[in-house]
Amino acid sequence: MKEIRYIWAINEAIREEMERDENVFLIGEDVGAPGGSFGASRGLYDLFGPERVVDTPISEAAITGLVAGAAACGLRPILEIMFMDFMTVCMDGIVNQIAKMRYMFGSQYHVPIVIRTPSGAGLNAGPQHSQSLEAWFAHVPGLKVVMPGTPYDVKGLIKAAVRDDNPVIVVEHKALHALKGPIPEEEYLVPIGKADVKKEGTDVTVVAVSKMVHESLKSAEALAQEGIHVEVIDLLTISPWDRETIFNSVGKTHRLVIAHEAVKSFGIGAEISAAVSEEIMDELDAPIMRVGAPYVPVPFSLEKAYLPGAEEIIVAVKKTLERTF
């Protein structure tokens, strides 16, 4: 094993996949000589040249159309959208074209596109550069959406996404870029669609994604001092999400908290909560609790107050333990 930062795990994943398959190429704004807006592609331009590490004009809509055509012609593009907020500029290409091409043409075309994009708040980047919009894309049939929270998971999921014949959106929380963690020296993949139990427990299940996994682990450590044993599950893939792992955990703890940084209203927590209520209601001993951001744009000056974290998760866990049907 070796210690590596999250951002360099992304870099390694892209480099290894480009070395493995000459059809893989990277494209986006400033991904070439500048090395990407957050440094994820640093050094790749020197290794693979301008034909496989393609700097583009500032036109997300045009780039998205380009990768759709490239994928239909047999290439495997990795598209970097500099901030997730900018996905709004290319929604037509992603939602109306990329997500539907394989379905509309009866699988005559594969659409092996990876769209990488940094999301989330915590850097005081303001309301137009700090959003968590993953629920939009999870709502669209034809798209897979993953949200890795550790260096190990981001490398393994990007490599798996590149090899998938369907479009995969990889949502990378920008506040995790400097996070260090262990990864194997040898090659590995992390399967799309499979959650990971980061900490086992018996009293309450906490399902979280991305940066909120780390907040959930903090809350679990604090609650353990009070004799409350929390099971923390990293969802990893939000579409298609891993029902089996979550349902099995709820069947053990009989209580559920769901935590994400995106606004609480209409988020992925609502989907998981609804599915648990509809399919395994008898396993619940108390109402499900959700933790998310308030229903306002991400503020600049009050960002710390806006962001949900370990304290909010602790409150939610205690509430579901206090209540019963």
Residue with tokens 């559920």: 256
Active site residue 139: no
CB 79 within 8 A of CB 114: yes
Residue 44 to residue 183: CA distance in whole angstroms? 20
Question: Cβ-count burial of 301 within 10 angstroms (0-12 exposed, 13-18 middle, 19+ buried)?
Answer: exposed
The side-by-side arrangement of strands in the sheet containing 53-55 is 53-55, 24-28, 76-80, 114-119, 168-173, 144-146, 237-239
Inter-CA distances, 123 with 36, 88, 173, 274, 325, Å: 17, 20, 11, 32, 41
Residue 92 to residue 94: CA distance in whole angstroms? 6
**3-state DSSP call for residue 114?**
strand
The CA angle 21-24-25, to the nearest 5 degrees, is 140
User: Would you give the distance in Å from CA 126 to the centre of its chain?
Assistant: 20
Question: Cβ-count burial of 320 within 10 angstroms (0-12 exposed, 13-18 middle, 19+ buried)?
Answer: buried
CB 157 within 8 A of CB 181: no
| Catalytic member of 129, 177, 254, 260 | 129
Residues serving a catalytic function are 129
